[in-house]
């Protein structure tokens, strides 16, 4: 199997893999909580007492890490913190490894089987979570990795949704298959798969209308989309990417949980981690959900999508302001 991996290169000159300092700036609201709330508190103390532990715990909760994951982190910290003297370097490294352990299970970057033509990515999620924007960003990364991309305007529900996707198509100079508002979503996506096959396109990304896991008609529509494209390729869609707004903190977790009960989600994108102090939800998602966290969204621009790399995320959170 020939695979395209989102971790290619990992060198600092790669525009799709910018340095950790850049990520640190983007997620600074959450980061400052980890630095001033956790790291600075630890660094200031010669003795680890109960009061300090309580303070650390409430900082984690305020960053929306959530109760179960906060407890897990606190247990590990308590086990490893030596009472009495310890060096700043030691504490930083300790915190880094405890946080990292919570995240590594979720690190499974998307791999695209380039023998599929097209490899189909179906993008789903609730209203306004960032689906269409994520598609635009993703199209750019795939293209700059040398893959041909086509988009399918499967959101036929919201007025202006088609135009929004078409704008991203123009920005990336990739074809967009569309019919218009009110058309049958499954039929638009079917046409797109057919057209992508005929043109030898590597990756087809299909947009869909925002929906709640409680809207049974829209959930049925999603099932129909999958069924209909299965007539052209029984293995499609190859990835069902659930896009969740990370700035809603713990709500993002419950939303992802509910949604994946109804749809066969194979990967997650957590958007809007810029400008929120609730980015600690990444720890809860990683620990409490069994879904790979493929990407994080850190802004509205075309380059503001990062492959989720656990070590980069933790390093970005703990980076000193003068380092960032
Ligand atoms: N700050 C920030 N804004 C984002 C991010 N991702 C998306 N947005 C913004 O969120 C808003 C909604 O994004 P869309 O991509 O239209 O969301 P959607 O899920 O397609 O919405 P519907 O199609 O209405 O369900 C837009 O204003 C985007 O610019 C992100 O990572 N950071
Ligand atoms: Mg949309």
300, 304, 308, best to mutate for ligand 1 pocket (most atoms within 8 Å of CB): 300
| Segment 69-78 mean pLDDT | 94
Q: Could you report the per-residue pLDDT of 187-244, keeping only the tens digit for each? A: 999 999 999 999 999 999 999 999 988 888 888 999 999 999 999 999 999 999 999 9
Whole-number pLDDT of residue 11:
46
For 91-150, how does the pLDDT look when each residue is reduced to its tens digit (9 = 90+)? 888 999 999 999 999 999 999 999 999 999 999 999 999 999 999 999 999 999 999 999
Tokens (6 digits) for 318: 């703990």
Whether omega before 109 lies within 30 degrees of 0, making that bond cis, reads no
Return all residues near 15 (Cβ < 8 A) that are at least 6 apart. Answer: 144, 303
> For residue 127, how far is its CA from the centre of ligand 2 (angstroms)?
7
pLDDT, mean over the chain:
91
Ligand nearest to the CA of 136: 1
Q: Which of 128, 206, 294 for a ligand 1 pocket mutation test, highest count of atoms within 8 Å of Cβ?
A: 128
Which ligand has an atom closest to residue 279 CA?
Answer: 1
Protein residue whose Cα sits closest to atom 29 of ligand 1: 300
Tell which atom from ligand 1 comes closest to the C-alpha of 246.
31
The pLDDT value recorded for residue 322 is: 56
Q: pLDDT tens across 5-64, in order?
A: 887 544 444 555 568 899 999 999 999 999 988 888 888 777 778 888 899 999 999 999
Rounded CA-CA distance 197/125 in Å is 26
Phi–psi pair at 269, nearest 5 degrees: -125, 125
The neighbour count for residue 40, using CB atoms within 10 Å, is: 14
Torsion sign, CA atoms 161, 164, 170, 173? negative
297 CA from centroid of ligand 1 (Å): 9
Report the candidate in 165, 262, 163 with the shortest Cα–Cα distance to residue 211: 262
Is 209 within 8 Å of 185 (Cβ atoms)? yes
At residue 85 the predicted structure's pLDDT band, cuts being 50, 70 and 90, is: low
Indicate if the pLDDT at residue 324 is higher than 70.
no
CB of 299 sitting under 6 A from ligand 1: yes
pLDDT value for 41: 86
Question: What is the token pair recorded at 189?
Answer: 């996506």
C-alpha of residue 299 to centroid of ligand 1, in Å: 9
The partner residues of 120 in beta bridges, in order of sequence, read 204
According to the 3-state scheme, what is the secondary structure of the chain? Answer: CCEEECCCCCCCCCCCCCCHHHHHHHCHHHHHHHHHHHHHHHHHCCCCCHHHHHHHHHHHHHCCCCHHHHHHHHHHHHHHCCCCCCCHHHHHHHHHHHHHHHHHHHCCCCEEECCCCCEEEEEECCCCCCHHHHHHHHHHHHHHCCCCEEEECCCCCCCCHHHHHHHHHHHHCCCEECCCCCCCHHHHHHHHHHHHHHCCCCEEEECCCCCCCCCHHHHHHHHHHHHHHCCCCCCCCCEEEEEEEHHHCHHHHHHHHHHHHHCCCCEEEEECCCCCCCCCHHHHHHHHCCCCEEEEECCCCCCCEEECCHHHHHHHHHCCCCCC
Cα of first residue to Cα of last residue in the chain, in angstroms, is 40
Point out which residues pair with 319 in neighbouring strands.
none
User: Which-ligand-closest: CA of 298?
Assistant: 1
Residue-level pLDDT at 263: 87
Ligand 1 nearest atom to the CA of residue 210, by list position:
25
Query: Residue 321 pLDDT more than 70?
Result: no
> Residue 171: what pLDDT?
97
């Amino acid at each position: 199997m020939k695979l395209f991996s989102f971790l290619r290169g990992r060198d600092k000159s790669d525009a799709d893999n910018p340095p950790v300092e850049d990520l640190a700036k983007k997620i600074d609201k959450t980061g400052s909580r980890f630095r001033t709330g956790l790291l600075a508190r630890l660094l200031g103390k010669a003795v680890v007492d109960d009061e300090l532990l309580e303070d650390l715990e409430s900082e984690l909760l305020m960053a929306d890490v959530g109760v179960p994951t906060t407890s897990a982190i606190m247990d590990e910290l308590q086990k490893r913190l030596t009472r009495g003297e310890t060096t700043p370097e030691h504490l930083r490294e300790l915190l880094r490894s405890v946080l990292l352990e919570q995240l590594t299970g979720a690190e499974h970057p998307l791999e695209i089987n380039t023998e599929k033509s097209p490899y189909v990515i179906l993008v789903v999620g609730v209203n306004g979570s960032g689906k269409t924007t994520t598609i635009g960003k993703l199209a750019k990364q795939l293209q700059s990795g040398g893959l041909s991309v086509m988009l399918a305007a499967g959101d036929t529900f919201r007025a202006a949704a088609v135009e929004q996707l078409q704008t991203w198509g123009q920005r990336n100079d990739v074809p967009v298959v569309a019919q218009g508002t009110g058309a049958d979503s499954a039929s638009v996506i079917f046409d797109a798969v057919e057209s992508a096959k005929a043109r030898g396109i590597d990756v087809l990304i299909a947009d869909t209308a925002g929906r709640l896991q409680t809207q049974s008609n829209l959930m049925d529509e999603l099932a129909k989309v999958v069924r209909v494209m299965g007539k052209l390729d029984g293995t499609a869609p190859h990835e069902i990417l659930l896009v969740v707004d990370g700035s809603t903190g713990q709500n993002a977790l419950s939303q992802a949980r509910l949604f994946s009960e109804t749809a066969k989600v194979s990967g997650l994108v957590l958007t809007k981690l810029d400008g929120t102090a609730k980015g600690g939800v990444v720890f809860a998602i990683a620990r409490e959900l069994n879904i790979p966290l493929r990407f994080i969204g850190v802004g509205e621009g075309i380059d503001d999508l990062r492959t989720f790399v656990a070590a980069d995320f933790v390093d970005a959170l703990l980076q000193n302001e003068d380092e960032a």
